[in-house]
Amino acid sequence: MTESPADVPVDVLAAAVDLARAAAVETAGDPALVGDHLGATPEPVGPATDEVRPEALGEVLTHTFASTVPGYVGWHWAVTVARIPGEDQVTVDEVVLLPGDSALLAPAWVPWQERLRPGDLSVGDVLPSTEDDSRLVPAYLADDDSAEDPEGRVVAEELGLGRERVMSAEGRSDAVGRWATGEFGPSSPMARQAPGPCATCGFYLPLAGSLRRLVGACGNAYAPADGRVVAADYGCGAHSQATLVADEATEVVRTARYDTGTYDVL
């Protein structure tokens, strides 16, 4: 039976501990950074072929040394040495610092556009949108490929009021979801104690388009949400229909009174 490379005697390579340590020290730059010898492992060199004779494959073995490099707990030095079968001369192939099972590793790299969080953008920063941003679609068609059509861009300028891309249904849904669960949503403490919802308040300015029934802006200078996007079912004590009961000045009427006969279209 033909011996595999791992079965070839490697006594000469195994005895080359001092050579391997010297190589590790040279790479580390300080003898104190290379610890005890931990062992040696033969390396597979691949099968022989018609073009490559068995004696040309050589013998390869890796010596392992403990690492005492600050900040690299659980790492080790791996020094790979080799020789031609039948020869006594040993050469160093490579020296690397490798992590062990208990080593502390840096987290996997995450693209910058996935690392960003709301509030990270500061003055002077630029956050370009990507072509495959699911929150945006062409203003005239849902097909992003059509946005390259020069004539289509003209149509986009008209239908999108000067914008080539507008928010997609997914983008609008995400936005409404954020706003509804935020400080100015129906579940906030302020909304639960309000006399009535924003949708019935005279200071409520609905957004245009498909979001009109869901969200709007507050225009009451005395309200905590003034100038903010609020959910239609949010509310606060500055509701336009809120009144005080004459007999008990501290009690707020919690049923909003309003006239649905006439209303302004914004």
User: Exposed/middle/buried for 62, CB within 10 Å: 0-12, 13-18, 19+?
Assistant: buried
Structural domain contains residue 63: yes
| Domain boundary pick from 61, 77, 99 | 99
Structural domains of the chain, count: 3
Structural domain contains residue 134: yes
Q: Which residues contact 91 (CB under 8 A, 6 or more apart)?
A: 81, 82, 83
- pLDDT per 10-residue tile (average), the chain, 266 residues: 44 90 94 94 67 55 93 92 85 93 84 76 71 74 50 52 75 88 90 89 86 90 90 90 58 52 60
Same domain, 148 and 200: no
The whole-angstrom separation of Cα 176 and Cα 41 is 60
Structural domain contains residue 225: yes
Structural domain contains residue 262: no
Same domain, 16 and 94: yes
Same domain, 160 and 174: no
State which residues form the domain around 161.
Answer: 129-167
Q: Specify the pTM.
A: 0.45
| Domain boundary pick from 167, 183, 214 | 167
Structural domain contains residue 263: no
Structural domain contains residue 114: no
**Using an 8 Å Cβ cutoff, are 69 and 28 in contact?**
yes
